[in-house]
Each structure stands twice: as C-alpha cells, then as structure tokens.
Amino acid sequence: MTDFTPISDEEWRKKLTPEEFHVLRQAGTEPPHVGEYTSTTTEGVYRCRACGEELFRSTEKFEAHCGWPSFFSPLAGDKIIEREDNSLGMRRVEVLCAKCGSHMGHVFGGEGYDTPTDLRYCINSISLTLDEKPIEG
C-alpha cells in the first residue's frame, strides 16, 4: 500500500455519500446500467473515488455490455488488490484499491472478450472519478 492513513468508518461516512459508502466501504454493488461511466468513451484516467489513486485508463476500457464500466487491465498491478470473494454462493475475485482498501468491483477471466488479457475488470461507476485528459504513449 502507498502512503495512506487509515480512517474510521465514521470519517468515511462524513467524506462519502451513503451510496458511495455502501459500495466503497461495505462492498456493495450499484445497479447495472445506471452508473455515470458505464458507456462513456471520454479519454482520461479513472481514480478511486475514496482516495484519488489512479487505477484505470480509458485506453483499457471496453464495452462489455454488462451494465458496469469494464477494463481489461488496471493502470498497474500494484494499484489494486485482488482477493477471493465467495459471497453470494459463487467464487469471484474482488478488486480493491491498494491505497485505501476500497471496494471497486470484481474481475472475471475466460469470458471470451476480444481483449489483450481476456480479463474483465467489472468496476462500479460510483467507485470511480474520471480525470479527463489526453492519454500519452
């Protein structure tokens, strides 16, 4: 983890809206097809809404038609944490911000998308903010 001083749930509740708190701090999921970034093609960097850490780039975003923003790769492997999630009676891999530990969504593999990694990072829009800027290189 990078420099981040852990804060209490009480402090998170002051910083986040109730909906943001539910998803980011309680591993909730926003409803499909309602998120701000589900279909956007705006160029830029997607940051963790809780701490501002850069997590994904628009160049790795693709249309998966699943109801949530989808990326085939994070900005860098050390920017996220992947951990097993056996909730809801299924095996999934949860994606967390490595800096603050906030829940982003889940990553799925082997679904047959035509992407370089065959991975789909299915991320809640409410977990992100988009820093609109041209992507270089």
pTM: 0.91
| Helix (H) or strand (E) segment spanning residue 82 | strand 80-85
Please write the tens of the pLDDT for every residue from 6-39.
Answer: 899 999 999 999 999 999 999 999 999 999 999 9
β 54-57/44-48 pair status: antiparallel
CA atoms of 64 and 81, how far apart (whole Å):
22
User: Which residues are CB-neighbours of 8 under 8 A, at least 6 positions away?
Assistant: none
Could you tell me the residue ranges of all domains in the chain?
9-132
Tell me the catalytic residues: 122
- CATH class for the region spanning 9-132: mainly beta
